[in-house]
Amino acid sequence: MKKLTFALLFLIPFTFTACSGTANETNSGNENIGAKEITDGQVNKLTADAFQKLVWDYKSNPKEWVFSGDQPVIIDFYADWCKPCRLVAPIMDELSKEYNGKVRIYKVNTDEQKELAGLFNINSIPAVLFIPKNGKPQMSVGAMQKEAYVEMIRNVLVVN
């Protein structure tokens, strides 16, 4: 019973962990990619321009959600200074490999892509947007365990 209690007390903080606010320091890490430079089976970093081409052209169609992708999408909104975001990143890397060919996973640095962060009212990160091929996107805020993301993929994206 003590082991179960300890495990629950240890895991619960990671389940609902999120950062809010901003920091002045940014580390660009991987370069942003354009629409033609997407690599399947890995997490790709998006710019606003690539987002408009690959996910939703919100400038041409600002009042209605029209998904332009060919596969369901997960977008991880993060910042380099956010510790919970760093916990989510390896999970997204694993999911991109496991769901290669079924789901595309992108990441958006909220410090660098303020327009996209504002478009989705991102006030707390990590925030993960699940976009099915058909239907409306759903947002999850806070770091979760991998199993919770898998459940969202099954229920929201309808992918096994």
Percent of the chain with pLDDT over 90: 73
The answer to whether residue 19 is catalytic is no
d(C-alpha 116, C-alpha 77), whole Å: 9
Residue 87 lies in a domain: yes
Q: Could you report the per-residue pLDDT of 65-122, keeping only the tens digit for each?
A: 999 999 999 999 999 999 999 999 999 999 999 999 999 999 999 999 999 999 999 9
Cβ atoms 81, 15 nearer than 8 A: no
Total domains present in the chain? 1
Residue 24 lies in a domain: no
Residue 23 lies in a domain: no
Asked if omega into 126 is within 30° of 0 (cis), the reply is: yes
The answer to whether residue 85 is catalytic is yes
Q: Which of 46, 73, 82, 153 is catalytic?
A: 82
Residue 160 lies in a domain: no
CATH code for the domain of 108: 3.40.30.10
The pLDDT assigned to 138 comes to 97
Residue 42 lies in a domain: yes
In angstroms, the Cα distances linking 106 to 4, 34, 49, 74 are: 35, 12, 13, 6
DSSP string across 50-116: HHHHHT--TTTSTTS-----SS-EEEEEE-TT-HHHHHHHHHHHHHHHHTTTT-EEEEEETTT-HHH
d(C-alpha 116, C-alpha 134), whole Å: 21
Residue 107 lies in a domain: yes
β-strand partners of 140: 128
Q: Which of 43, 74, 75, 85 is catalytic?
A: 85
Domain containing residue 116: 2-18+29-155
d(C-alpha 144, C-alpha 152), whole Å: 11
Residue 6 lies in a domain: yes
> What is the pLDDT confidence band of residue 160, given thresholds at 50, 70 and 90?
confident
Residue 111 lies in a domain: yes
**Structure-block tokens of residue 126:** 């990590």
Average pLDDT over residues 7-25: 45
Whole-structure pTM value: 0.80
The pLDDT assigned to 136 comes to 94
